[in-house]
Chain A
Amino acid sequence: MQSPAAAAHSVLTPASPHAVAIAHLARLFFSLGALVWLAVLAFLAWSLLRSRGLNQPTEDTHVVRRQTGAVGAALALTTILLLALGFVDYRTGRGIEKAHARVLSADTVRVQLIGHQWWWEIRYQQATWPFQVTTANELHIPLGRPVVLTLESRDVIHSFWAPNLHGKSDLVPGYSSQFLVQADTPGVYAAPCAEFCGTQHAKMMLLVVAQPPDSFAAWYANESRDAPAPRSDSTDRGRQVFLAAACPFCHTIRGTGSGGTVAPDLTHIAGRRMLGAGAAFNTRTELGGWIENPQGMKPGNRMPANLVRGSDLPALLAYLATLK
Chain B
Amino acid sequence: MTGLATAERDALARTWGTPRGIAGFFTTVDHKRIGLRFIGTALCFLALGGALALMMRTQLARPDNHLLSPQLYNQFFTTHGTTMMFLFAVPVMMGLGIYLVPLMIGTRNVVFPRLVAYAYWVYLFGGIFLYSGLLLGNGPPAGWFSYTPLSETPFDPTKGSDIWAQMITFTEIAMLGVAVTLIITILKQRAPGMSLNRMPLFVWSILVTSFMVVFAMTTIAVASTLFLAADRLINTRFFVQQSGGDPVLWQHLFWMFGHPEVYIIFLPATGIISHLVATFSRRPVFGYTAIVFSTIATGIISFGVWVHHMFAVGMPELGLSFFTASSLIVTIPTAIQLFCWIATLWSGRPQWRVPLLFILGFFFILVRGGLTGVMLASVPVDLQLHDTFFVVGHLHDVLIGGAVFPLLGGLIYWYPKFSGRMASETAGKWAFALIFIGQNLTFFPMHILGLHGMPRRTYTYLASTGWGGLNFLETIGAYILAAGVLVTVANLILSAFYGRSAGNDPWAADTLEWATTSPPPPGNFAALPVVESRDPLWDPGGSEERPIVVGLPPDRREVLFTSALDAIPVRRIPLPGPTIWTFFCAVGTAIGLVMLIFTPWGLVVGTALAIPPLIIWAWPKAGGSA
Q: How far is the CB of A209 from chain B (nearest CB, A)?
A: 16
A93 near B379: Cβ-Cβ < 8 Å: yes
> Among residues 43 to 84 in chain A, which have CB atoms less than 8 Å away from a CB atom of chain B?
43-44, 46-48, 50, 52, 54-57, 59, 63-64, 67-68, 70-71, 74-75, 78-79, 82
Cα distance A92–B384 when bound, in Å?
A: 14
Instruction: Decide yes or no: A157 and B247 within 8 Å by CB, A41-B363, A299-B69 being known contacts.
Output: yes
**Which of A26, A57, A63, A74 is B384 in contact with, Cβ under 8 Å?**
A26
| CB-contacts of A146-161 with B (<8 A) | 155-157, 159, 161
Q: How distant is the Cα of A4 from the Cα of B385 in the complex, in angstroms?
A: 23
Whether B149 lies near A177 (C-beta < 8 A) is: no
Report which of A33, A92, A96, A300 forms a contact with B70, defined as CB distance below 8 A.
A300
Scan B499-539; emit 1 where CB is below 8 A from any A CB, else 0.
Answer: 00000000000000000000000000000000000010010
How many B residues are at the interface, by size bracket?
35 or more
Question: Number of A residues contacting the other chain (C-beta, 8 Å)?
Answer: 85
B317 lies within 8 A of A194 (CB): no
Known: A11-B452, A55-B349. A168 touches B374 (CB 8 A): no
Cα(A11)–Cα(B382), bound, Å: 11
A246 to chain B, nearest CB (A): 23
Measured between beta carbons, the chain B residues less than 8 angstroms from A177 are 314
What does the 1/0 interface line of B325-366 toward A look like (CB < 8 Å)? Answer: 100110110011011101111111110000000001001100
Judge if A173 is at the interface, Cβ distance under 8 Å. yes
Tell me whether A163 and B247 are in contact in the complex, defined as CB-CB below 8 angstroms, given that A41-B363, A173-B241, A194-B455 are known contacts: no
Shortest Cβ gap from A72 to chain B (Å): 9
Stretch at the interface among A132-140, A197-205, A260-268: A197-205
Report the stretch among B92-100, B253-261, B457-465 that lies at the interface. Answer: B457-465
Task: Tell whether, in the assembled complex, residue B312 and residue A168 are in contact, meaning their CB atoms are under 8 Å apart.
Answer: yes
Please determine whether B457 and A201 come into contact, CB atoms closer than 8 angstroms.
Answer: yes
Complex Cα gap A74–B385 (Å): 28
Assuming the A-B contacts A67-B347, A155-B155, A168-B384, are A196 and B332 also in contact, with contact meaning beta carbons closer than 8 angstroms in the complex? no
Q: Are B345 and A48 in contact (CB under 8 A)?
A: yes
Q: Are A168 and B71 in contact (CB under 8 A)?
A: no
Given contacts A40-B338, A97-B317, A157-B147, contact A169 B347 (CB under 8 A): no
A74 smallest CB distance to B (angstroms): 5
Contact B286 A71 (CB under 8 A): yes
Residue of B nearest to A162 (CB): B453
| Interface contact A54-B149, CB-CB below 8 Å | no
A97 to chain B, nearest CB (A): 6
Which of A22, A74, A97, A156 has most B Cβ within 10 Å? A156
Return the chain B residue nearest A10 by Cβ: B452
Is B143 located at the chain interface by the 8 A CB criterion?
A: yes
A29 within 8 A of B: yes
Q: Do the beta carbons of A90 and B324 come within 8 Å of each other?
A: yes
In the bound complex, residues from chain B placing their C-beta under 8 Å from that of A163 are 384, 453
B367 CB–A CB distance under 8 Å: yes
Residue B371 CB within 8 A of the other chain: yes
> What is the bound-complex CA distance between A172 and B372, given in angstroms?
27
Q: Are B383 and A168 in contact (CB under 8 A)?
A: yes
Of the candidates A67, A82, A166, which one forms a contact with B343 in the assembled complex, judged by CB atoms under 8 Å apart?
Answer: A67
Select one of B247, B329, B371, B381 contacting A173, CB under 8 A. Answer: B247
Q: For the complex, is A315 an interface residue (Cβ under 8 Å from B)? A: no
A90 touches B321 (CB 8 A): yes
A9 within 8 Å of B (CB atoms): yes
Q: Does B387 contact A (CB under 8 A)?
A: yes
Decide yes or no: A159 and B328 within 8 Å by CB, A26-B381, A30-B375 being known contacts: no
- Given contacts A11-B451, A75-B336, A174-B247, A44 and B71 within 8 Å (CB-CB): no
Known: A57-B284, A70-B339, A163-B384. A25 touches B378 (CB 8 A): yes
CB distance from B401 to the nearest CB of A (A): 12
| In the complex, per-residue mask of B35-70: 1 if CB is within 8 Å of any chain A CB, else 0 | 000000000000000000000000000000000011
* B461 proximity list for chain A (CB < 8 A): 202
Give residues of chain A (80-103) contacting chain B, Cβ–Cβ below 8 Å. 82, 85-86, 89-90, 92-94, 96-97
CA distance A198 to B142 in the complex (A): 7
Q: Does A170 sit at the interface, judged by CB under 8 A?
A: yes
Task: Find out whether the CB atom of B74 lies under 8 angstroms from the CB atom of A167.
Answer: no
One of B147, B286, B335 near A196 (C-beta < 8 A): B147
Q: A54-B347, A93-B379, A200-B70 are in contact. Are A169 and B453 (CB under 8 A)?
A: no
Contact check: which of A47, A117, A174, A190 meets B342 at CB < 8 Å?
A: A47
Chain B residue contacts of A199, Cβ below 8 A: 70-71, 74, 141
Assuming the A-B contacts A54-B348, A75-B339, are A10 and B70 also in contact, with contact meaning beta carbons closer than 8 angstroms in the complex? no
Among A10-35, those with CB < 8 Å from B are: 10-12, 19, 21-22, 25-26, 29-30, 33-34
Bound state CA distance, A21 and B381, in angstroms?
A: 10
Q: Check B380 for interface membership: any CB of A closer than 8 A.
A: yes
Contact A174 B286 (CB under 8 A): no
The residue of chain B having its C-beta at the shortest distance from the C-beta of A79 within the complex is: B332
- Chain B contacts of A117 at CB under 8 A? 155
Alpha-carbon gap, A33 to B368, bound state (A): 8
Q: Which residue of B lies closest to A78 (CB)?
A: B335
| Alpha-carbon distance A97/B314, docked complex (angstroms) | 12
Is residue A278 contacting chain B, with contact meaning CB distance below 8 A?
Answer: yes
Query: Considering the chains assembled together, what is the distance between the CA atoms of A10 and B147 in angstroms?
Result: 27
Contact A50 B317 (CB under 8 A): no
Those of A88-131 within 8 Å (CB) of chain B: 89-90, 92-94, 96-97, 117
User: What residue of chain A has the Cβ atom nearest to residue B74's Cβ?
Assistant: A199
- Which residue in B312, B320, B371, B379 is a CB contact (below 8 Å) of A159? B312
Q: Cβ of A82: which chain B residues have Cβ within 8 Å of it?
A: 328-329, 331-332, 374
Task: Give bound CA distance, A44 to B339, whole Å.
Answer: 9
A33 & B374 in contact (Cβ 8 Å cutoff): yes
B243 to chain A, nearest CB (A): 10
Which residues on the B side are within 8 Å of A19 (C-beta)? 384
Kindly state the separation between the CA atoms of A129 and B325 in the bound complex, as whole angstroms.
48
Which B residue's beta carbon lies closest to that of A199? Answer: B70
A198:B383 contact, CB within 8 angstroms: no
Question: Which residues does chain B contribute within 8 Å of A198, judged by CB atoms?
Answer: 74, 141-142, 150, 155
Q: Please indicate the chain B residues that have their CB under 8 angstroms from the CB of A172 in the complex.
A: 247-248, 313-314
Interface residue B304 (Cβ < 8 Å from any Cβ of A): no
- The answer to whether B312 and A25 have CB atoms under 8 Å apart is no
| Closest A residue, CB atoms, query B368 | A37
Kindly provide the distance from the CB of B423 to the nearest chain A CB, expressed in whole angstroms: 23
Taking a contact as CB atoms under 8 Å apart, the answer to whether B457 and A196 are in contact is yes
Of the residues B142, B363, B381, contact of A25 by C-beta under 8 Å: B381
- Given A26-B375, A75-B335: A85 and B328 interface contact (C-beta under 8 Å): yes
**Residues of B with C-beta under 8 A to A193:** 455
Taken together as a complex, chains A and B put the C-alpha atoms of A157 and B313 apart, in Å, by 9
The answer, yes or no, to whether A1 is at the interface (CB within 8 Å) is: no
Binding site for A on B (CB under 8 A): 69-71, 74, 141-143, 147, 149-150, 155, 241-242, 246-248, 282-284, 286-287, 290, 312-314, 317, 320-321, 324-325, 328-329, 331-332, 335-336, 338-340, 342-350, 360, 363-364, 367-368, 371-372, 374-375, 377-388, 451-453, 455-462, 464-465, 535, 538
A-B pairs, top 3 by smallest CB distance, nearest first, are A167-B383, A174-B241, A9-B453
A-B contact pairs, 14 of them (CB 8 A): A10-B452, A11-B384, A44-B360, A50-B346, A54-B349, A89-B324, A157-B147, A163-B453, A167-B384, A169-B383, A175-B314, A198-B141, A299-B69, A299-B71
Given A93-B321, A155-B155, 6 extra CB contacts under 8 A: A44-B363, A57-B284, A59-B284, A78-B335, A194-B388, A300-B69
Give residues in A with beta carbon < 8 Å to B. 4-5, 7, 9-12, 19, 21-22, 25-26, 29-30, 33-34, 36-37, 40-41, 43-44, 46-48, 50, 52, 54-57, 59, 63-64, 67-68, 70-71, 74-75, 78-79, 82, 85-86, 89-90, 92-94, 96-97, 117, 155-157, 159, 161, 163, 166-170, 172-175, 177, 190, 192-203, 278, 299-300
